[in-house]
Structure 1
Amino acid sequence: MNTQDAKRVLEAALICADQALSMRDMQTLFADELSPDCLRDVLTELERDWGSSRGLRLVQVATGWRFQSQPDVQVYLDRLHPEKPPRYSRAVLETLAIIAYRQPVTRGDIEQIRGVGVSTPIVRQLEDRGWIEVIGHREGPGRPALYATTRHFLDDLGLQSLRQLPQPLQPAGPDTVADTVADAISVALG
């Protein structure tokens, strides 16, 4: 298959996909006819072709590649679906921020940093959203669950890795970290 045909097929697959396509998915799409290097080259070309002059752009997120709208056209797209995205309480955002920056953490760790208890509905809401999961249990009394963020969390924020999370402006205590990340997550979620 030549590069131009591969580019057309890949572009169609990415536009029609309901979620990000991993490199493995794209290899399957071409029945391993394209080498991983050739596939990366095609993705680079598509990324360049769909630059800032169009309403969509090709981006890499934690689980693979996907097309998403340019930020400047999002206000227009929101008119098609006027329902408001869910609003998250400050407690939910702080809990998520602590997990994102300090993972893996237990509920007790979160409560110690926040200075207040973490209610079960807060943890359940984050789990139901697919943003956090239990990745193990800490050795010790009661073997508390260890929480960490998921790849779905990174995808929803448009990130490839946790290293892309915003850093606190000044080195300070855990409250600053929680506030900074809570604010960044709040902005990213609309």
Structure 2
Amino acid sequence: MTAEPASGTGTGTGESTDDAAALPGGVKAAVEAVLMVVDEPAAPALLASVIGVPEQEVLAALTELRLEYDGYTGGGPEGAPRGFELRDVAGGWRIFSRADYAPVVSKFVLEGQSARLSQAALETLAVIAYRQPVSRARVSAIRGVNVDSVVRTLVQRGLIVDAGTEPETGSLLYRTTPYFLERLGLGSLDDLPQIAPHLPGLENLAEYEDTTY
């Protein structure tokens, strides 16, 4: 699907921009490229604004992509579905591993990656463990660095998982998993050691968090 060129800046509700018309592969390829890097479900209006086309074109592209991933090529016989699928969840769209392959993905995440966690990952995991449920933005504020890639790594390792959204901002929240407790040899989060003794002059992590803003 190729966007029609038009003057002006795309807002997601108006005409397609010249830049959108020049995209290789058209709107559908552009939508797919963005979906490959999002960390949270992307709303059609946001995708339309970024790509510079009307929201209706984005919705059409999303529908086509979902059908393609499910094995429908349009007019021809149904083929085998891809190992991933496109879902409309929480007001946005995101690519997920297909549920049929969950055992394979779980084995890879839990057993196929034996490398030790980096210092950055360990620090991020500690913040999430003590402040859960917590958003990436809050973790970034506490650590003073961007933690997007580290959070993705922890999710892939099965150590943390989505825990709903923050009411005030709509940001995804994260919490630790039973696998996290298993790896640390803990029965519950109550068994986590007190952190105050390791932060001289601070009574708890909440106070530490406040000093980062």
TM-score range normalised by the length of the shorter chain? 0.3 to 0.5
Structure of higher RCO (CA pairs closer than 8 Å, 6+ residues apart): 1
For normalisation by structure 2, the TM-score amounts to: 0.39
Q: Name which one, 1 or 2, has greater alpha-carbon Rg.
A: 2
